[in-house]
Amino acid sequence: MSTETERHERGRLAPVVDWMENLSEAAYAYLLLIPAFGLLTLIAFYPMISTFWMSLLEDQTRGAETLGGFVGLENYIGILTGDARLARQFLDVQLTGSFPFFELGVGFFQQALFVTLSFAILNVIFTTLIGFGQALVLDKDFRGRRWVRVAVIIPWAVPIVIQGMIFYLMFQPTVGFGADVMNALGLFSATPLASSQDSFFILLIADVWKTSAFMALLILAGLQSVDRSLYDVAKVSGASTWQRFKLITFPLALPAVLVAMLFRTMDAMRVYGLIESTAGCTTVPSMTCMVIEGMFGGTRIYGTAAAVAFMTAAIIGVFISIYIVKFRGQEGGVY
Amino acid sequence: MARVTLDGVTKRYEDVTAVDDMNLDIGDGEFVTFVGPSGCGKSTTMETIAGLTIPTEGEIYIGDREVTKLPPKDRGIAMVFQNIALFPHMDVYDNISFGLRIRNYEKSEIDRRVEEAAEIVQLGGMMDRMPEEMSGGQRQRVAIARALVREPDVFLMDEPLANLDAKLRVHMRTELQRLHRRLDTTIIYVTHDQAEAMTMSDRIAVINAGKLQQIAPPLTCYNEPANQFVAGFIGSPSMNFVEAEVAGGRLEAENFHVEFDPSTTDGIAPGDRVVLGVRPEDIYLERTAEGIEYATELINARTDVLEPMGNEVFVYLVTGNDTETSMDVAAGEASDDQLLMNVDPDTQIEAEEDVSVILDRSRIHLFDAETGDALRHGLIDVASAESGTPERGVGDSD
Amino acid sequence: MATETETTQTQAERDQSDDSGPFQRWVSGSISEPGRAYRPMFWLVTVFFLVTTLFPFYWLFMVALTPEGQLQNVVFTPNGFNPGVFIEIFQILPFHRYMFNSFVIATVTTAFVLVVASLAGYVFGRLRFPGKNPLMLLVLLVSFFPPAAFFIPLNDLFNTNFDILEPVLSNGSLYNTPYALVIPMSALFMPLAIFILTTFYSQIPDGLEDAARVEGTTRLGALFRVIIPLSAPGVATAGVLTFIGVYNEFFFSFLMTDGQPQNWAPVLQGILGFQGQYQTLYNAMAAASIVAVLPMAILVVVAQEKIVSGLTAGGLKE
| Non-local CB neighbours of A150 within 8 Å, separated by 6+ positions | C297, C300, C301, C304
**Angle ∠(A43,A46,A47) on CA atoms, nearest 5:** 70
Chain B contact partners (≥3 CB pairs within 8 A):
A, C
C74-93 per-position pLDDT tens digit: 677 777 777 777 888 888 88
| CA C10 to centroid of chain Cα atoms | 44
Q: CA C267, CA A120: separation in Å to the nearest integer?
A: 27
pLDDT the model gives residue C105: 92
Domain region containing A197:
108-329
The residues in B 76-95 lying below 8 A from C, measured between CB atoms, are 77-79, 81-89
The verdict on A176 and A266 lying in the same domain is yes
Helix ranges (DSSP H) in A1-155: 3-7, 14-21, 25-40, 46-55, 74-80, 112-139, 145-153
The SS3 of residue B240 is strand
Our count of domains for chain A comes to 2
CA distance A104 to chain C (A): 26
The verdict on A114 and A40 lying in the same domain is no
pLDDT the model gives residue B329: 44
- CATH number of the domain that A239 lies in? 1.10.3720.10
pLDDT the model gives residue A106: 63
pLDDT in tens, chain C (318 residues): 444 444 444 444 444 444 556 666 655 655 555 555 677 888 888 888 888 888 888 888 888 888 877 766 667 777 777 777 788 888 888 888 888 999 999 999 999 999 999 999 999 999 989 988 889 888 877 776 777 777 778 877 777 766 666 655 556 677 777 888 888 889 888 988 898 888 888 888 888 999 999 888 888 889 999 999 988 888 988 899 899 989 988 888 888 777 787 778 888 888 888 877 667 788 888 888 889 889 888 888 888 877 777 777 654 443
CA distance C301 to chain B (A): 25
Give backbone dihedrals phi and psi of A194, rounded to 5 degrees, phi first. Answer: -100, -10
- Tell me if the pTM is above 0.90: no
pLDDT the model gives residue B335: 61
CA distance C204 to chain B (A): 10
The verdict on A313 and A171 lying in the same domain is yes
**Residue B241, beta-bridge partner list:** B277
pLDDT the model gives residue B24: 93
Looking at beta carbons, which residues of chain B come within 8 Å of C236?
A: none
Looking at beta carbons, which residues of chain A come within 8 Å of B56?
A: none
Give backbone dihedrals phi and psi of A301, rounded to 5 degrees, phi first. Answer: -95, 65
Could you tell me which of C55, C54, C51, C59 has the C-alpha nearest to residue C79? C59
The verdict on A34 and A154 lying in the same domain is no
Looking at beta carbons, which residues of chain C come within 8 Å of B87?
A: 208, 211-212, 226, 230
The verdict on A45 and A117 lying in the same domain is no
Delineate the domains of chain B, giving CATH numbers in brackets: 4-233 (3.40.50.300), 240-386 (2.40.50.140)
- Minimal Cβ distance to A2: which of B76, B104, B105: B76
The reply to whether A234 falls in a domain is yes
Q: Where in chain C is the domain with CATH 1.10.3720.10?
A: 86-315
The verdict on A43 and A187 lying in the same domain is no
Give backbone dihedrals phi and psi of A53, rounded to 5 degrees, phi first. Answer: -65, -45
The reply to whether A90 falls in a domain is no
> Quick check: A198 and A247 in contact, CB under 8 A?
no
The verdict on A279 and A202 lying in the same domain is yes
The verdict on A274 and A192 lying in the same domain is yes
> Quick check: A75 and A304 in contact, CB under 8 A?
yes
pLDDT the model gives residue A322: 82
Chunked into runs of 10 residues, chain B (398 residues) has average pLDDT values of 89 89 93 92 92 91 90 89 86 91 90 89 86 88 90 90 84 87 90 90 93 94 93 90 85 84 77 89 86 82 89 88 49 65 87 88 89 86 45 38
> Quick check: B347 and B313 in contact, CB under 8 A?
yes
Q: Which of B83, B114, B148 to mutate to test the interface with C (most CBs of C within 10 A)?
A: B83
> Quick check: B260 and B246 in contact, CB under 8 A?
yes
* CATH no. for C86-315: 1.10.3720.10
Q: CA A307, CA A78: separation in Å to the nearest integer?
A: 10
Helix ranges (DSSP H) in chain C: 2-17, 22-32, 34-65, 85-92, 95-126, 132-142, 147-159, 179-202, 206-215, 219-222, 228-230, 232-248, 251-255, 267-272, 282-310
Whether C214 has its CB under 8 Å from any CB of chain B: the answer is yes
**Residue B157, beta-bridge partner list:** B80, B189
Residue in B closest to C230 by C-alpha = B89
Widest distance between CA atoms in chain B: 78
Q: CA B398, CA B226: separation in Å to the nearest integer?
A: 10
Q: Which of B43, B81, B86, B139 to mutate to test the interface with C (most CBs of C within 10 A)?
A: B81
**Residue B301, beta-bridge partner list:** B319, B355
Residue in B closest to C207 by C-alpha = B85
pLDDT the model gives residue A101: 59
pLDDT the model gives residue C2: 43
DSSP character string of C165-181: GTTTSSSS--TTSTHHH
pLDDT in tens, chain A (335 residues): 444 444 444 566 777 877 888 788 889 999 999 999 999 888 888 888 888 888 888 777 666 666 767 777 778 887 777 666 666 676 666 666 666 655 666 666 667 888 888 899 999 999 999 999 898 888 887 888 888 888 888 888 888 888 888 888 888 877 777 777 777 777 777 777 777 888 888 899 999 999 998 888 888 888 887 777 777 787 777 777 778 788 888 888 887 788 788 888 888 888 888 888 888 887 888 888 888 877 777 667 788 888 888 888 888 888 888 877 776 655 443 33
The verdict on A181 and A280 lying in the same domain is yes
The reply to whether A225 falls in a domain is yes
Looking at beta carbons, which residues of chain B come within 8 Å of C211?
A: 79, 81, 85-87, 146
Q: CA B299, CA C318: separation in Å to the nearest integer?
A: 62
Looking at beta carbons, which residues of chain B come within 8 Å of A7?
A: 103, 105
Q: CA C109, CA C179: separation in Å to the nearest integer?
A: 9
pLDDT the model gives residue A115: 85
Chain C contact partners (≥3 CB pairs within 8 A):
A, B
The verdict on A46 and A117 lying in the same domain is no
Q: CA A315, CA B10: separation in Å to the nearest integer?
A: 52
Q: Which of A28, A40, A225, A265 to mutate to test the interface with C (most CBs of C within 10 A)?
A: A40
The verdict on A293 and A215 lying in the same domain is yes
Whether C212 has its CB under 8 Å from any CB of chain B: the answer is yes
Residues of A with CB under 8 A from a CB of B: 1-5, 7-9, 18, 21-22, 24
